[in-house]
Structure 1
Amino acid sequence: MKKRTILLVLKVLISAAAFSQEGADTARLLEEVTVRTFGQYRKLSEAGVPVRIIDVNNGDLYNRSSLVNSFNTIAGVRMEERSPGSYRINIRGSSLRSPFGVRNVKVYWNDIPVTDPGGNTYFNQFAWNNFSSLEVFKGPASSLYGAGTGGLVLINNLDQWQPGISVDYITGSYNLQNIFASARFGKDENKNQFTYAHNQSDGFRDQSAMRRDNFSWLSQLKLSDKHELSATVLFTDMQYQTPGALTLAEYNTDPLAARPAAGGFPGAEQARATIYQKNILAGFTSKYQISSSLRNATTLYGAFSQIKNPTIRNYERRNEPSYGGRTTFTWKNAQWAINGGAEFQQGYFNTQVARSRNGNPDTLQTNDDINYQNLSVFLQGDWSMEGKWFIQAGLSLNRTNVTFSRLSSYPVVQQSRSYKNELAPRISIMRKVGARLSFFGTVSRGFSPPTVAELLPSTGVISTDLEAEEGWNYEMTARYLLLQNKLRIEATAFYFRLNNALVQRRDAAGADFFVNAGDVKQKGIESHVDYTFQPLHSKLISYITINADYTYNHFRYGSFIKGTDNFSGRQVPSVPKGTFAAMTDLRLKSGFFINVNFYASSSIFLNDANTATAQSYQLLGSRIGWKAPGRKKIGYSIHTGVDNLLDQQYSLGNDINAAAGRYYNVAAGRNFYAGVSFQLNTKQ
């Protein structure tokens, strides 16, 4: 059945070469995309690091509620959704540490660190119109970006700026209501952009409704030929219900039900299990050309997050103010580039946990002040020779300090931990063979101290005895460009040995806690193919794009013994052995478009003992519509689409190592959506 399904999908993908997506009026060829990761600022075909880019052209294929489907088209990357609004990102196994949220992946938005000083990233605060492109780098990036062994995501928002306004409205199954509005004004010397987004859904499970309102303002001012200043503000107010994980029997009987009452604990609906979340992020960046070869970029920012979370076992409230900055000096000539600087972050967090009574706080249990501080000092050198060799070597020195003060116990006792100075080197060598073939070899060391959520998990037990995880990564990439860079073939093989790996556990009440495993041996192969075709003399077809990604993972515990349990040699949970993603996207000159996408995942182990499994699944989706062709000032379009066309029942965002077998969170079944959009371009 699975083979027949895959063959059918491949046939659909190939035969769909008569339509296209909504996006730019012309396809963006590979050499036009600029890579910024590790200070490259090079065209993708010339970049000295393997990186994948999601932009508004290749990411706008779904209902814009989230980036789950777009991230999952990238080999080695897996974004999961436990319920609407609750996401986590797995880059080469990094979700091993993430029962919820995004950890062990460093995220920046317009040069501002989104990952807070405590190591957590509220990725769900972003809406679709908060980005124009995202760069995804897989593996340790500690030599330039500090803590994190999973990877790096750079979010940019002014890449394709032009004055005008745009409004989009999307509705669909489960009472989906999405509104996106943007206003852009000014000139190239003074760009301004305001965005607003509203996302709402009743959810596909009981107790899974969500609502998010998002506002952003960006301003970029060119003060002189040498000096540019930009300011950014992002505010998000959201709430989303959390239905809780089910046992296999409950999942098979009624997968759409919320967690029922059991073991003296109320069910998710009775407890009104919900996350109420507010985030504000504000900062400015100064870029100054000191001389013809020396420039400086400095970012200062402040952030505040407030979380209220009634659950079946308690009521948690977190206030998390933080601030920080990053400065980088760059010296360049024809062959050399040297980057040096530092990043500092400071957080003053407070976490209060009370008993929960029907979704309201009751008796206070714990009250903790948390002081979390990290500092990274880095230096990187790039050398290129005759366009054939590119060598990049970097080194960072990192320091992390954390102090807990439990105010709910008298006398107040402080628990502190200073993680040792971590050296994180990285060297990458690229060799170009002719104009089409490139080879990359990379050796890097990554590290990641426990986050605040791991040091103070929902059990309420402070765990300063946890060690930072660290390890060496080795990888080789081959990239081949054909047909005037319209066809790209890329393959990467990697080996990463991670020591003191942080592994999630859950107790009978569903509270999470963490332990250090001995080591994890991560081996894998990631492959990617994309092709863009623009027939020069066709009166029918504007362009055709086809992408395909395949991932093979061989992740195993090395030495991992906890008490009487020996998990040595077992497969690491939460990581599928293989995934495959394919997409075809074509557009007619008449304005009609269609895209077809397919994703398949192998089965996934859900516990360290490898005794529980989430079954394999295959997802098929499509989107069709029409965009008014040939209009430069006023544009409008309509579209409709379907996700999970095969109506597969599968679990996404599983609870790993859960007690009582509560692993399963069902994903949405077959669902439909439709939308309209309007754009006004005021550029003269």
Structure 2
Amino acid sequence: MNPPPARCRLPVLGTLLLSTVAGAQAPRSLPAVEVEAARVQHVDPFALPASLDTVWIDDDRAGAQAQLSEALDGIPGVLARDRQNLAQDTQLSIRGFGARSTFGVRGVRVLVDGVPATMPDGQGQLSHASLLGAERIEVLRGPFSALYGNSSGGVLQVHSARGREGDPWRLRVNAGTDNTLSVGAQLRGVQGPVDYNIAANHFRTDGWRDHSQARRESLNARLGMAVGEDRLELLLNYLDAPDAQDPLGLTRAQAAADPRQATAVAHQYDTRKSARQAQAGLVYSGTRDAHRFRLTGYAGQREVTQFLAIPPAPQASPLHAGGVIGLDSGYGGLDARWGWTGELAGRALDVTAGINADQQRQHRTGHENFIGDQLGVRGRLRRDQRDTVSNVDQFVQAWWQWSERWSLLAGARHSSVRFRSRDHYITAGNPDDSGRRRYQATTPVAGVSFEVTPQWRLHAAAGRGFETPTFNELGYRADGQAGLALDLSAARSRNVEIGSKWHAQDGRQLDVTLFRADTDDELAVASNTGGRSTYRNIGRTRRQGAELSWRQPLAQDLDLQVAWTWLQAQVRSGYLACGGSGCSVPDTPVDAGSRLPGVPRQQAFARLQWQPRQWQWAAEVTASSDTVVNDLATERAPGYALLNLEAGRSWTLDAGDLRVFARVDNALDQRYIGSVIVNDGNGRYYEPGPDRRGSLGVQWSWR
């Protein structure tokens, strides 16, 4: 028997707050920016028929600034979960897309300074993005994310600040519970013809859970200079994360008995992951009268080694790939785009067109994770293949102010994604697994915006999207035979949304959006046994819901922010799923109307911030309703609500600015499940969130 799910009451609190303070007014304005996620120049994002949010990463933030999830809580429709496990990336989903991912990021497009962090097959990661050097994070949700191609359930872009005259240099140190330490330095400014933003960070922690020690070193740099009338930028990134321990998930009983424990096999096999990445990008941009252009090229290398807790017995099969995964990836790409701003029929027109090509070449190896009786070591070779995935895409987009109050944004993208695998591990019991597959799609999208008043806009948008399987999902056939799962189809979606945006000049904002996404050939787990997952297309699904974002200045130095999401993610075509551990052939019905796992029905966030002079005080509430953890909905993680507190004090001195800050997470010391591992084959679905955590930091800035 499962306990009844906890219910999130924060939306009720938000409604009460709305009725209490709706009439309050105070002069406050947010900075303006050209939101690059929509690729429309010189047009206020408020006027676009799309759901766009910008999070500003200012110097007043508290916390370690070690993961992007720290900055994404206040965006409706976005679920970013810190797994308390740095061997695995942040769990990121947008409007329910990507929620099934057990590792990395899929279903969502991620870019850092315009360079893709999502590979052509749709698999992405966030670990190399730096909050220390970032200026803002842009999130695009809904139909227009399809203009970014494969795996675009949403788009997340991280932008570094451009160095300017008088920018401060800063040193930041943050220490917290569990021997957590983050030390960062940022150099930003202008030296001769070059503007620069260089951010380096060292992060280490013993981890809240047992066997979760981790360390990360990162360097991010953005260097720019004028070339005549044009601009040239160099983007550099480096990440080293050696031997991050993986505590694995827990069963419900284990999580209830001791949420800080690691699974016994995590110690037995010393489960861990090492990742190292280095990449560089070059951007050349300029304008010629009404024309503009931008050329981007990038290349990088990423190495990953991961030790899994797979027992020797399943590895006895000649088709098994072993318990140690090795990935050595070289990747790169080119993006060229042209834009023009002018008039059509006497009304403003902005057109953007472009082409981009990306490629990843990956040497994938598998080894046994034992030698004799010794476990958790690299043993015999069991897999050796070279995979290539590439795409060539073309896109066009136009924005037209076709009347005084009406505007149109429309576009289309054609994508061609090619997979090829060459098997170099061929034995009598393991035949040649080489193969290739090509996916193609054209994804049109259009939306209109209507200006009711200068402060109030209504919009509607519709479009199509598609998502190919990743190489990890193509890796094994669902029937257990040798070879790749080349019979998998790409998922195709139809997306619509309608919305209202109200932005007052005094800083008050209220955005409300209703959305629906219907998907055919949804990708889902077919079986999860012997340490490997297989996938298949299950038919039709639907994600629909509502989003609310509200900002309210309450007084001169007092601000309130509220975000709420209601999301119904359901199966629309019944199918069979595995009903127990070790199942290799689906045998249990999942009825139409069943919930998709990994997606809470409701999320809410509220932040009240008071900044009297040099002081800063803030209280946050984050809440989530229950989350189903498997296709059969036999288990679920209960809902929760957490209180976080912040305080800070700044001093302006002759030599620079000093700021001291503190943060307490989960101040009421609640027990909760912070993230889930969907459809885990061993029933270890739960990754508990931490109890009360505290941190103290100091930041020194000088010019």
Equivalence for 2:205: 201
Deviation (angstroms), 1:624: 0.5
AA at the equivalent of 1:604: T
1:30 equivalent in alignment to 2:30: yes
Which residue of the other structure, out of 250, 253, 260, is the alignment partner of 2:257? 253
CA distance in 2, matches of 1:144, 1:491: 23
SS in 1 for 2:663: strand
SS in 1 for 2:426: coil
TM-score normalised per structure 1 = 0.90
Deviation (angstroms), 1:481: 2.2
Q: Percent same amino acid at aligned positions?
A: 21
1:466 equivalent in alignment to 2:492: no
Equivalence for 2:597: 573
Q: Which shifted more, 30-39 or 232-241?
A: 30-39
Q: Which shifted more, 649-658 or 335-344?
A: 649-658
Equivalence for 2:455: 436
CA offsets, 1:337-390, max 9 Å, x none? 111111101111111011112332101111111011111101111101455222
**How many residues of Structure 1 are paired with residues of Structure 2 in the alignment?**
652
Are the equivalent residues in 2 in contact too, given 1:505–1:658 (CA < 8 A)?
A: no
TM-score normalised per structure 2 = 0.88
1:284 equivalent in alignment to 2:282: yes
Which residue of the other structure, out of 405, 417, 421, is the alignment partner of 1:388? 405
CA distance in 2, matches of 1:531, 1:58: 22
Deviation (angstroms), 1:561: 1.3
Deviation (angstroms), 1:439: 0.6
Are the equivalent residues in 1 in contact too, given 2:121–2:150 (CA < 8 A)?
A: no
Deviation (angstroms), 1:168: 0.3
Equivalence for 1:517: 538
Equivalence for 1:305: 302
Are the equivalent residues in 1 in contact too, given 2:50–2:141 (CA < 8 A)?
A: no
CA offsets, 1:573-618, max 9 Å, x none? 11011111100112111x1111110011111111111111101111
Q: How does 1:377-526 map to 2 (within 5 A)?
A: 377-385=394-402, 388-409=405-426, 412=432, 414-419=434-439, 421-456=440-475, 462-482=484-504, 484-504=505-525, 507-526=528-547
Are the equivalent residues in 1 in contact too, given 2:433–2:484 (CA < 8 A)?
A: no
CA distance in 1, matches of 2:626, 2:508: 31
Q: 1:158 to 1:143 in 2, by over 3 A?
A: same
Equivalence for 2:642: 619
Deviation (angstroms), 1:124: 1.3
AA at the equivalent of 2:543: Q
SS in 2 for 1:609: coil
Q: How does 1:236-247 map to 2 (within 5 A)?
A: 236-239=239-242, 240-247=244-251
Deviation (angstroms), 1:73: 1.9
AA at the equivalent of 2:548: S
1:296 equivalent in alignment to 2:293: yes
Deviation (angstroms), 1:454: 1.7
Q: 1:73 to 1:505 in 2, by over 3 A?
A: farther
SS in 1 for 2:332: strand
Are the equivalent residues in 2 in contact too, given 1:505–1:515 (CA < 8 A)?
A: yes
Equivalence for 1:22: none
Equivalence for 1:171: 175
Deviation (angstroms), 1:95: 2.7
Equivalence for 2:319: none
AA at the equivalent of 2:303: Q
CA offsets, 1:9-30, max 9 Å, x none? 879999xx9xxxxxxxx99723
Gap runs ≥5 in structure 2: 311-322, 577-585
Gap runs ≥5 in structure 1: 18-25, 261-266, 536-542
AA at the equivalent of 1:415: G
Are the equivalent residues in 2 in contact too, given 1:99–1:655 (CA < 8 A)?
A: yes
Equivalence for 2:196: 192
SS in 2 for 1:400: strand
SS in 1 for 2:267: coil
CA distance in 1, matches of 2:396, 2:273: 40
Equivalence for 1:331: 340
CA distance in 2, matches of 1:12, 1:550: 14
CA distance in 2, matches of 1:46, 1:144: 18
SS in 2 for 1:129: coil
Equivalence for 1:23: none
Which residue of the other structure, out of 663, 669, 673, is the alignment partner of 1:641? 663
Q: Which shifted more, 656-665 or 375-384?
A: 656-665
CA offsets, 1:373-409, max 9 Å, x none? 1111011111014552221110111101101111111
Q: How does 1:62-141 map to 2 (within 5 A)?
A: 62-85=63-86, 86=88, 87-141=90-144
CA distance in 1, matches of 2:404, 2:276: 48
Equivalence for 1:610: 633
CA offsets, 1:265-299, max 9 Å, x none? xx11121111100111211011022x311111010
CA distance in 2, matches of 1:12, 1:477: 23
SS in 1 for 2:132: helix
CA distance in 2, matches of 1:633, 1:188: 23
CA distance in 2, matches of 1:59, 1:515: 46
CA distance in 1, matches of 2:324, 2:293: 45
Q: 1:244 to 1:192 in 2, by over 3 A?
A: same
CA distance in 2, matches of 1:679, 1:408: 55
AA at the equivalent of 2:73: N
Q: 1:141 to 1:408 in 2, by over 3 A?
A: farther
AA at the equivalent of 1:524: G
CA distance in 2, matches of 1:595, 1:657: 37
Equivalence for 2:565: 551
Q: 1:626 to 1:8 in 2, by over 3 A?
A: farther
CA distance in 1, matches of 2:377, 2:409: 54
